[in-house]
Amino acid sequence: MSNKSKKKIFLDLLKKLFPNPKIELDYENELQLLVAIIMSAQATDKQVNKINKTFFKKFSTPKELFELGEDKIKQEIKSIGLYNSKAKNIFNTSKILAFDYNQKIPTSIKELQKLPGVGIKTAKVFLIATKNAPYLAVDTHVHRVLNRWGFVKTKTPLQTDKEVLKVFNKNEIIDLHHRLVLFGRYYCTARNHKCEKDELLKDICPYKENTK
């Protein structure tokens, strides 16, 4: 099968599985989303959502978040991994947004990366979710899926990030990030992948064939 044919089959499959994909973090505004993404490093979306049911009620603007103080933020999120460093990043980010950005969140990757706790992946995820930006933020799920399907042959998510635009054009990338994350999370899992049990997948999954 040609790469072009395989890509079409793959993209069509993802559209069937996830017709209306979206991020699984719960949020009501852009500030909440940014905070949730910062918290989600090395944590599950379910863990973050559980904490934020109460945490998000404590503030509505960057200034209000800053006024909570680092210690209070730490107390609110202490049930999540790396909570000390995450609280520090959230506090310092709120300070910068409140006093340097007039309470507004920047809309470019370059400016977002100036915020503590916001790397290129976090910036891309934020812009994908809020602006439908044509980016692909490569996490472990995206890295695993693209390698198993043979679209890239890379060792790390960073290497995959550099290769991905050679595989998919900007039109194809719209909604692709969420679909890849969901596919990796629920079907093409790190262990006990579901391909052989799924009617849509069992006859077309290349990874299944390679592991027989």
Q: Catalytic residues, which ones?
A: 121, 139
Tokens in use for 97? Answer: 């947004």
Of 181, 169, 147, nearest to 17 (Cα)?
181
User: What span, in angstroms and rounded, lies between the C-alpha atoms of 198 and 68?
Assistant: 48
Task: State CA 193 to chain mean position distance.
Answer: 20
Locus of tokens 């799924």: 198
Q: Are 88 and 116 in contact (CB under 8 A)?
A: yes
Burial 49-77 (b: 16+ CB within 10 A, else e): bebbeebbeebeebeebbebebebbbebb
Tokens in use for 150? Answer: 């043979």
**What Rg do the C-alpha atoms of the chain give, in angstroms?**
19
Q: Which amino acid is at 2?
A: S
